[in-house]
Amino acid sequence: MPHGPLHKDNDFKEIDVDQLRKLSTMWKAEDLLVNPGFDEAGQDPTNMNTIRYYQQRHDAVKELVLTKPDEFGIINLNGIDVIYKYESDDDFRLAISTEMLGPLVRWYHTVTVHATGAQTLLHTMKQLYYHKKLTATINAVTSACTTCKISNKTSRQYRLLSPRHAVTAPWNEVHIDAIGPWTFKAVIGTIPKTYTFYALTCIDPVTNLVELKRHDLTVNLPDDGDETPAQPKAPTAAMEYQSTGVS
């Protein structure tokens, strides 16, 4: 991989981004379900054109190729010349301008849905990007993030639920409820009628045994389009179970 100032045409080495191992860690903004936005122009921060655009706007980044030729150079990625920092013969990082640094960190932090802390975010970004204030910017962004403060407002660790009092004697406590209504139509003779009934349930929470009793309504609704059922008399229904000695 070339390093140093590459200012001659025959000194440029073209590299396919898809073949770079480290660039596989980048997101493609167009693949995101919700793109948080990077700048006012709506540019994609993962696009080499965007990186070159911000590099060319910052004289300090362009001068790195001339002032530190052993560390910085120009590389062609998918037909776009960008400035990079040489790390080793098979490793490099893209130089990021100060203007791009803050929005880029905030964009990455939002894309990762605030799930990564400062150290994890730094480990992710430093594999691809270089800026001398990358660590400080990440710490500043994550520490000032309102969403992270709300999500991490407690450090309490969640464990097993505390023991609760459980009833062990069958039928010592029962749960009674009326379920329904169920409505059906029938023709008796020549008169169509609508019948509605409920079911009264009694559940033992210890054995999970269920007793069910049909509870008919005393009112049959005529077939006049109004199928609103009358409500059962709950006290009367409960008394049916109380009369059996179940409490």
183-237 pLDDT, tens digit each: 878 877 788 888 787 888 889 888 889 888 887 654 444 444 444 444 444 444 4
In this predicted structure, what is the pLDDT of residue 217?
52
pLDDT tens string 101-111: 999 999 888 88
Portions of the chain given CATH number 1.10.340.70: 9-151
Structure tokens at 79: 């037909």
The angle that helices 118-125 and 98-111 make with each other, rounded to 10 degrees, is: 120
pLDDT 10s digits, 114-169: 777 888 889 989 989 999 999 999 999 988 888 887 776 555 656 666 667 777 88
Reference 72, options 88, 83, 56; nearest CA is 83
CATH code for the part of the protein at 9-151? 1.10.340.70
pLDDT at 98 over 90: yes
> Residue 114: what residue type?
H
**Cβ burial, residue 42 (10 Å; 0-12/13-18/19+):** exposed
Closest CA to 122 of 110, 134, 112: 134
**Can you name the residues that pair with 27 across neighbouring β-strands?**
none
